[in-house]
Structure 1
């Protein structure tokens, strides 16, 4: 397979003062997986093999419920093409 990008936004149903701590646990998990990722104000974008990134998305739901969320709403975006796609090719010109 080729590299793709998956963006994930999790919205856990918890008390307002727990939202960031729960999201932080998801981001810690993403970091522990060794995939390239970038945290944004509204979502986290990851780069890697589609299968691995989808497993991370799945585990993110479980992390939220383990942290006390009664429900999790997630938005997932996938950018995939046969030749592969990287975050750098999309945003490099904005970072120079």
Structure 2
């Protein structure tokens, strides 16, 4: 399957001072998965096979709960086309 782009924003229901540490754990997990990713101020965008990225999304929810979140709201965006899509093709002219 061709690469897709998937962006995730996790919003864990934790005290305000714990939000960044919980999100940091999710980003550490994404980094450990070997997919191309880029952290932004509102979301993290990944590039890879859809099944792999969806597994990462699932695990991100679990990590938030393991870190103390009573609830997790997440926003997920997927850019898919049959021949594949890359982050570079969308943002190269801005770099």
**TM-score between the two structures when normalised by the length of structure 1:** 0.99
Equivalent in the alignment of 2:35: 35
Paired residue secondary structure (1:11) = strand
Aligned length: 95
Name segments (4+ residues, structure 1) moved above 2 Å.
none
Structure 2 stretches of 5 or more lacking a match? none
Paired residue secondary structure (1:68) = coil
Structure 1 residues 18-47: Cα deviation after superposition (integer angstroms, max 9, x where no partner)? 000000000000000000000000000000
Q: CA RMSD in A?
A: 0.2
Paired residue secondary structure (2:82) = coil
**TM-score between the two structures when normalised by the length of structure 2:** 1.00
* CA apart distance, 1:2: 0.3
Equivalent in the alignment of 2:23: 23
